[in-house]
Structure 1
Amino acid sequence: MQAHLNQPCSWMLQLLLVSNLLLWEYVVSLPLCLEIEGSNELTIEELFDDAIGMAQYTSNLTTQISEEFDENFAKSLGYKARNSSTCHTASLLTPENNEQIQQTQLDDLLKGMISISRAWYHPLEKLVHEVAALNGASETMLLKVKEVEEKNQELLKKIKEILVRVHPGAEENVYPAWMGLAEVRSANEDTRHFALSNIFRCLHSDTDKVATYLEIVKCRVIHNNNC
């Protein structure tokens, strides 16, 4: 299902009442409203700079979380935990190298970033609870996961605003649902730790991808690809 990013939000209350009846564990419904306080006061370059700074900061946080988790919980899992399972966002058709990125339309890059950020909404919500319940997890790790959850939502709004500015009337792509909660809550400790290690690895990979895409899109929009 696709939704117009610039349509009014007045219908959302009725829609949410209906969607709450249909909501199940692995699907989250998000409003597509774009009333972002102060965003219209920013130039497009300032909006890019804000989004890039936030994306880079978030990527750095996810690096720290992944490294701390593996150091404290995944040593015994070794190479396998860091390099085996695929990410739930793997189904998204996003460019993987600079040549592919340059050949991708701007609106497709922006919609890809939106799909990635939306695909992490539900997992991050659950990760906050799982890390809070994780025996031996530091308070610092929990605070970082909470901050990544908040930054992901803020970044999602900023990228939507950029898309509306660059391509008014663009439609949002679908995003993949996360189906990994059972493994994260497994009774087997190794299974839980393996699942969390993989999730944090994927989270870092995706946040780094968004930060990279944003820099390239800014270069193309603001500097006519002369960076």
Structure 2
Amino acid sequence: MQLSWSQPCSSGMIQLLLVSNLLLWECVVSRPMCLDIGYKKLFLQELFDRATVIAQYTSNLTMQMSEEFDENFAKNLEYKARNSSTCHTASLTTLEINEQIQQTQSDELLKVMISISRVWYHPLEHLVCEVAARKGTCETMLSKIKELEEKNQELLEEMKGILVRVHPGAEENAYPAWMGLAEVRSDNEDTHHFALSNLLHCLRSDTDKIVTYLEVLKCQVIHNNNC
């Protein structure tokens, strides 16, 4: 016998229909949420991968550029001894010990990296101009300096993108102004060459820090510190 719309349903059938609808609703609602979380994690993974590749490439390029510049313009021991002078990024709160880095919150690590990258904007801008004006500068050296400037800007944008997605609304840290332009433009050849050499050595140190910080940050955010 078929039920007509006018016939009342039993209480058991009503409960069965309600439970079925509830399960169906939970399935419909939960799947997009899971997909959304998975997409966000995958997107973050891609951001970190891109930033890491750029950071590692920049670090290697800086090492090559530093060694090439010293070989061409700063050969004597005096330059090497003086290259221990303080970098203009020394006032930034950076982390040297591995335990300190791992215990630092992800937002603070990101802010430190962004500050380091930002503070290099003007020094690299002038470094390109000064190396281009140097007698004896070859085209490959100049192209590497220009590429360093471009890669630093790319890396900065990637890290800012990560900060926006991992910590929406977080404010970036202040960064110190660069005060070394006078030495870079000095008429004294020794002072001038040392200033350029020292900038490259400091950039090399800072790019290495960013690579290390990114590895720790990726472990914190993507792998929940299970690395």
- If you compute each CA radius of gyration, which structure gives the higher value, 1 or 2? 2
Query: What SS does the aligned partner of 1:213 have?
Result: helix
Instruction: For 1:177 and 1:80, locate their aligned partners in 2 and report how far apart those are by CA, in whole Å.
Output: 26
Q: TM-score, normalised to structure 2's length?
A: 0.79
Tell whether the 8 Å contact from 1:89 to 1:116 is kept in structure 2 after alignment. Answer: yes
Q: Give the deviation of 1:208 after TM superposition.
A: 1.0
Q: Give the deviation of 1:91 after TM superposition.
A: 0.2
Alignment of 1:132-151 (within 5 A): 132-151=132-151
* 1:15 alignment counterpart: none
More helix by share: 2
* 1:80 alignment counterpart: 81
Query: What SS does the aligned partner of 1:171 have?
Result: coil
* 1:123 alignment counterpart: 123
Instruction: For 1:75 and 1:124, locate their aligned partners in 2 and report how far apart those are by CA, in whole Å.
Output: 22
Instruction: For 1:194 and 1:81, locate their aligned partners in 2 and report how far apart those are by CA, in whole Å.
Output: 8
Q: TM-score, normalised to structure 1's length?
A: 0.79
Which residues of structure 2 form unaligned runs of 5+?
A: 1-39
* 1:96 alignment counterpart: 96
Instruction: For 1:79 and 1:69, locate their aligned partners in 2 and report how far apart those are by CA, in whole Å.
Output: 12
- Percent of paired sites with the same residue: 73
Q: Give the deviation of 1:94 after TM superposition.
A: 1.3
The letter of the residue matching 1:52 is T
Alignment of 1:167-186 (within 5 A): 167-186=167-186
Q: Give the deviation of 1:81 after TM superposition.
A: 3.1
Deviation string for 1:170-222 (max 9, x for gaps)? Answer: 00111111111111111110111111111000011111111111111001111
Q: Please give the root-mean-square deviation of Cα atoms over the aligned residues, in Å.
A: 1.5
Instruction: For 2:83 and 2:71, locate their aligned partners in 1 and report how far apart those are by CA, in whole Å.
Output: 12
Tell whether the 8 Å contact from 1:66 to 1:204 is kept in structure 2 after alignment. Answer: yes
Q: Give the deviation of 1:82 after TM superposition.
A: 2.5
Tell whether the 8 Å contact from 1:74 to 1:81 is kept in structure 2 after alignment. Answer: no
* 2:111 alignment counterpart: 111
Structure 1 runs of 4+ aligned residues shifted over 3 Å read: none
Q: Give the deviation of 1:137 after TM superposition.
A: 1.5
Q: Give the deviation of 1:78 after TM superposition.
A: 4.1
Instruction: For 2:202 and 2:67, locate their aligned partners in 1 and report how far apart those are by CA, in whole Å.
Output: 13
Tell whether the 8 Å contact from 2:83 to 2:197 is kept in structure 1 after alignment. Answer: yes
